[in-house]
């Protein structure tokens, strides 16, 4: 096994870990946003992630922080993109559903794959192009299916929620492209620390602090989970970008809706009361499956 092949496999493993974490994230966000506004939830995620990564870097006692002597100003662009991504995505979940948000947000890694080919000159086979095409077609029909299944009075809300998610996807691409460039010169933990602390201070003026002090113990645990999920997912994602091609990392992340759909179907079957039911129709499932199948085809090795 060559070093390049080993690095590619290592990067895809990190991308898979990110996909698993994001698969549960949408569900947790839907529960959180039922009691707390999207900006406050996003700020809480960034705050916890900032604290945890600072503690880790302090305990580790390494010299990574010294690399900031030459400050990476591109990281501020990445941080702005990530902040807007968080707000747009959670706002979209608030207006639609976890399953819907998870499928529509996959326009981000698909677009990232195209950018990886155009700007980073990454190689891609005809088979991978077919995979991307299948995923895009599946995405389109999934949107039409969801819209047809929405009552007339709620279609405007659904479209607004979907628009928020699409905006979030574009902002995520801005972040991801910047991250791909930054990991060439800076440690992943240092970049993430800048992203998290910048976003924490940027969102602070808009936070509803009163709602935080009124949270139940269960909500506190949920918020801690969201913060830890944020730190681990983006740490793994940074490592994935470091070792693997951006188009492969971007496309494999499209696998995370599979987890969300499975868990939401199970929760609906169990008739839990703490989250609204969210199941797919047969056409909706096949459309979502097309997105996931396209992603698998795009990253499948020869």
Q: Specify burial of residue 14 (Cβ count, 10 A radius: 0-12, 13-18, 19+).
A: buried
> What is the average pLDDT score of the chain?
84
Q: How far apart are CA 229 and CA 202, in angstroms?
A: 20
Query: Is the pLDDT assigned to residue 302 strictly greater than 50?
Result: no
Q: Which of 170-174, 245-249, 272-276 has the lowest mean pLDDT?
A: 245-249
In order, the DSSP letters of 245-278 are -HHHHHHHGGGHHHHHHHHHHHHHHHT-SSS---
Task: Choose the most confident range, by mean pLDDT, from 54-63, 175-184, 194-203.
Answer: 194-203
Q: Nearest-CA neighbor of 237 among 65, 50, 19, 49?
A: 19
Q: Indicate the pLDDT class of residue 300, thresholds 50, 70 and 90.
A: low
pLDDT of residue 108: 78
Query: Is the pLDDT assigned to residue 220 strictly greater than 90?
Result: yes
Q: How far apart are CA 172 and CA 185, in angstroms?
A: 21
Q: How far apart are CA 24 and CA 27, in angstroms?
A: 6
Q: How far apart are CA 263 and CA 252, in angstroms?
A: 19
Query: Which of the two residues, 198 and 179, has the higher pLDDT score?
Result: 198
Global pTM value: 0.82
Query: Is the pLDDT assigned to residue 59 strictly greater than 50?
Result: yes
Q: Specify burial of residue 127 (Cβ count, 10 A radius: 0-12, 13-18, 19+).
A: exposed
Query: Is the pLDDT assigned to residue 201 strictly greater than 90?
Result: yes
Q: Where are the domains of the chain?
A: 3-299
81-108 pLDDT tens trace:
999 999 999 999 999 889 888 888 877 7
Alpha helix (H) ranges present in the chain? 3-32, 38-60, 74-95, 98-104, 107-118, 126-148, 155-182, 188-203, 209-213, 217-243, 246-252, 256-270, 282-299
Pull the structure tokens for residue 299: 């990253």
């Amino acid at each position: 096994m060559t070093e390049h092949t080993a690095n590619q496999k290592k990067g895809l493993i990190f991308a898979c870990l990110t996909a698993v974490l994001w698969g549960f994230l949408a569900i947790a966000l839907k529960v959180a946003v039922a009691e707390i506004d999207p900006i406050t939830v996003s700020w809480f995620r960034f705050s916890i992630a900032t604290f945890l990564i600072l503690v880790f870097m302090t305990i580790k006692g390494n010299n990574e922080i010294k690399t900031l002597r030459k400050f990476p100003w591109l990281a501020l662009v990445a941080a702005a993109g990530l902040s807007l991504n968080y707000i747009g995505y959670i706002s979209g979940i608030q207006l639609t559903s976890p399953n819907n948000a998870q499928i529509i947000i996959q326009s981000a890694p698909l677009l990232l794959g195209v950018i990886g080919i155009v700007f980073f000159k990454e190689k891609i086979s005809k088979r991978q192009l077919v995979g991307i095409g299948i995923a895009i077609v599946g995405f389109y029909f999934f949107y039409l299916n969801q819209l047809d299944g929405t009552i007339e009075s709620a279609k405007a809300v659904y479209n607004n929620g979907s628009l928020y998610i699409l905006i979030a996807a574009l902002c995520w691409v801005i972040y991801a492209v910047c991250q791909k460039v930054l990991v060439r010169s800076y440690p992943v933990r240092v970049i993430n620390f800048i992203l998290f602390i910048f976003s924490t201070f940027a969102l602070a003026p808009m936070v509803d602090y009163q709602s935080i002090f009124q949270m139940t113990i269960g909500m506190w645990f949920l918020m801690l989970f969201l913060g830890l999920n944020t730190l681990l997912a983006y740490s793994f994602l940074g490592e994935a970008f470091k070792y693997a091609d951006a188009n492969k990392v971007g496309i494999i992340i499209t696998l995370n809706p599979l987890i969300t759909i499975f868990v939401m179907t199970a929760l609906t079957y169990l008739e839990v009361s703490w989250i609204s039911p969210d199941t797919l129709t047969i056409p909706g499932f096949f459309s979502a499956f097309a997105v996931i199948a396209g992603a698998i085809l795009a990253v499948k090795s020869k």
